[in-house]
Amino acid sequence: MIEQSRSTSRRKMLHHLISAAIPGCNPSTPDAQKTTNSIINRIEHEGRSTSSNTSNNAQPNTGEQLGQSKLQDQIIDIDTVNCLFSDIAACTKFLSALPRYQQRTMIEPSPVSLDEARLLTIQKQALAVQLRYEYEGKEWWDTLMLQKDSVRLIRIAHSLNSQNPSSNSKN
């Protein structure tokens, strides 16, 4: 029952994301609902195919053995990046955004607001931006790595009931 509720919530969020990415899309029309359902079904099918393929191959530890969700890694376009920022603002509890300006640095990045992170990403003023937020009882870390014509999204979820790396304080 809980899993079905999560699935429904996830589908609603995907409907919102996809509808927002299609110019002039009215999500309440039957054609738009059919299109977004088709896209969501394809995404879910590809996700199942990917997870079954990776379990048969030697892959780096993605955290699943440590009680974390699988690592998700995909290339997205700027329109999808904008939708991602809008969805995080509207549907989650935003925690922080950490930009990375240099490839190798020992300096901890200073947090920025969600709006500043969006600008840094869209204007490609940082190498990467990590967004941290709570959604469906988990803390999600989305790392947006800026590439020439796209953005690489790396996503991992951390269970809130286990020790959380972002909640550790430094003394």
Instruction: Using alpha carbons, select from 122, 125, 133, 129 the residue that is nearest to residue 157.
Output: 133
Amino acid at 48: R
Phi, psi of 130 (to 5 degrees): -105, 125
84: which DSSP letter?
A: H
Cβ atoms within 10 Å, residue 72: 16
CB 101 within 8 A of CB 112: no
Cα dihedral 59, 60, 62, 64 in deg (nearest 10): 60
Model pLDDT for residues 6-56, shown as the tens digit of each residue: 566 666 666 665 555 554 556 666 666 666 666 666 666 655 544 444 443
Note the pTM of the prediction, 2 decimals.
Answer: 0.56
Phi, psi of 128 (to 5 degrees): -160, 160
What are 70-121's pLDDT values in tens digits?
A: 788 999 999 999 999 999 999 999 999 999 987 666 666 789 999 999 999 9
pLDDT at 3 over 70: no
Q: Helix, strand or coil for residue 150?
A: coil
